[in-house]
Amino acid sequence: MENLFIKKMPLYYETDESQLILGDSFNILTKMESETVDMIFADPPYFLSNGGITCQGGKMISVNKGSWDKLSKDGTGIEEKHKFNRKWIKLCKRVLKSDGTIWISGTLHNIYSIGMALEQEEFKIINNITWQKTNPPPNLACRCFTHSTETILWAKKNEKKVHYFFDYQRMKEMNNGKQMKDVWSGSLTKPSEKTEGKHPTQKPEYLLERIVMAATKEGQVILDPFCGSGTTGVVAERLGRKFIGIDISEEYLQISKRRLEKLKDE
């Protein structure tokens, strides 16, 4: 796969279809050539790690996911979160082609900041997708409704004369001949997709399959700046797209690497 960097950088893993890069997305995105990717899917930190508990597999566990998911405790958390979101979105805009689109997933903890950051960086939001989880973990505190949805914002550069790609007909066919709506229902990630290792916010493959098929053509390049366990890359490669994944954690890139290698044997 052609190297998309201005300066040669060591790649953690590379095939003809995929590249994995270990490092801080803020640094790496600045070294990429401008307007080189067709679509971006981002699952950024939700900033959920606040010392609370949740339920997983019938057991109470900590919600803390890692230092990358924490905000400051000095009262600057909100500003810090928004500054973070606006910075990475601005960097992504530079590497996204003029007719490309960006998809960003989140929960109430970060999605409102992301929506504002997109508008501040002059993106136009196309859709607000609601992913309804059919088997969410129960609410242990019993003081509010069960959290069972996530939001995925789909946006394009705010350039009126440029047309983005949307495979409307394919989405309609996938929805039994009817227009597909912006509420998508499905289960959490299956255990069979976690055999190479677990990631705390791993997305199910069916979700990325729909996004990739809706917004890209075969051979196009997809970037994931927080690629985690590599679901975006697995789906992209399986569907004949090119993939660039960045993550600051070598542990998670190891999972991505194993999943991409396993894909070769399928």
Residue 177 has which token pair? 């001949």
Query: For the segment 61-97, what is each residue's pLDDT rounded down to a tens digit?
Result: 444 455 544 565 544 588 999 999 999 999 999 999 9
Query: For the segment 91-109, what is each residue's pLDDT rounded down to a tens digit?
Result: 999 999 999 999 999 999 9
Instruction: Give the mean pLDDT of 29-43.
Output: 96
Do 3 and 221 meet the contact criterion of CB atoms below 8 Å apart? no
Q: What percent of the chain has pLDDT over 90?
A: 78
Mean pLDDT across the chain: 90
Residue 217 has which token pair? 């053509």
- β-bridge pairing 221-224 and 37-42: parallel
> In angstroms, rounded to a whole number, what is the distance separating the alpha carbons of residues 114 and 216?
22
Instruction: Give the mean pLDDT of 153-179.
Output: 95
Is the pLDDT score of 3 beyond 90?
no
Query: For the segment 153-162, what is each residue's pLDDT rounded down to a tens digit?
Result: 999 998 888 9
- The pLDDT, as a whole number, for residue 66 is 58
Residue 44 has which token pair? 């950024």
Q: Where are the domains of the chain?
A: 13-264
- The pLDDT, as a whole number, for residue 8 is 67
Do 21 and 249 meet the contact criterion of CB atoms below 8 Å apart? no
Residues 6+ apart with CB under 8 A from 266: none
CATH of 13-264 among 3.40.50.1860, 3.40.50.150, 3.40.980.10, 3.40.1110.10: 3.40.50.150
